[in-house]
């Protein structure tokens, strides 16, 4: 079914079947905060549920129309919420390209970290993310090669997350310590 055991589940309607029943081959790391630069609150979840109230913040008026989701959100405290089963296509990458292929949503798993490009991510998020990566690699042989990209890597010029504040080396060490693979192709 593609659900994490023991993880809070909130089902987003913003998903569909992967074309040709494609298997996930790539993990995409994102950064999100709503409103930008503020943490906590119900706003990310409401965005993923198409229930973001435009009147709650002026920024929300500019994004209220979006229909987006992620497979999992890792909050600042390291807590996980799953929004889309891994076997389905979450709408997280938008217009994207990776290793000669377009439409990364078709063959990727999207993981949102609560954070911004410029604020340090919380230390509790790295082990939670590394545990999730290792679990996904064990569960999906198609992820065994360990390909991980940032949103900026698959949508350069359009997206910048998870940004310079994200410590890729720290994540790589944590993933490898769990016996999982880590491969990243950085765009020039």
Give exposure, 5-25, as e/b (b: 16+ Cβ within 10 Å): eeeeeeebebbeebeeebebb
C-beta neighbour count of 86 within 10 angstroms? 20
pLDDT, tens digit (0-9, with 9 covering 90-100), for 31-41: 999 999 999 99
Q: What is the pLDDT of residue 188?
A: 45
* Residue 168, domain CATH: 3.40.80.10
Assigned domain for 60 exists: no
Q: Does 141 reside within a domain? A: yes
Residue 73, domain extent:
8-31+69-177
**DSSP state for residue 24 in the 8-state scheme:** P
**pTM for the predicted model, two decimal places:** 0.97
Give the active site residues.
112
CA distance 142 to 147: 10
Domain-located, residue 116: yes
Number of domains in the chain: 1
* Residue 121, domain member (yes or no): yes
> Tens-digit pLDDT profile for the chain (188 aa)?
699 999 999 999 999 999 998 999 999 999 999 999 999 999 999 999 999 999 999 999 999 999 999 999 999 999 999 999 999 999 999 999 999 999 999 999 999 999 999 999 999 999 999 999 999 999 999 999 999 999 999 999 999 999 999 999 999 999 999 999 999 987 64
> Does residue 82 form part of some domain?
yes
Q: Which token pair is 13?
A: 């309607």
168 lies in a domain? yes
63 within some domain: no
Is there a domain that residue 187 lies in? no
């Amino acid at each position: 079914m593609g659900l994490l055991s023991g993880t809070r589940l909130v089902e987003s309607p913003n998903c569909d079947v992967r074309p040709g029943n494609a298997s996930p081959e790539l993990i995409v790391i994102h950064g999100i905060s709503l409103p930008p630069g503020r943490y906590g609150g119900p706003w990310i979840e409401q965005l993923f549920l198409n229930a973001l109230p435009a009147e709650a913040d002026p920024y929300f008026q500019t994004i209220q129309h979006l229909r987006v989701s992620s497979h999992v959100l890792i909050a600042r405290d390291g807590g996980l919420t799953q929004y889309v089963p891994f076997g389905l296509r979450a709408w997280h990458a938008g217009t994207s390209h990776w290793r000669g292929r377009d439409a990364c949503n078709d063959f990727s798993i999207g993981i949102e970290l609560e954070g911004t490009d410029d604020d340090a991510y919380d230390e509790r998020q790295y082990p939670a993310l590394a545990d999730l990566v290792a679990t996904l690699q064990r569960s999906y042989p198609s992820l065994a090669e360990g390909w991980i990209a940032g949103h900026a890597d698959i949508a350069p010029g359009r997206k910048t997350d998870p940004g310079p504040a994200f410590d890729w080396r720290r994540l790589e060490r944590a993933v490898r310590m769990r016996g999982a693979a880590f491969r990243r192709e950085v765009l020039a």
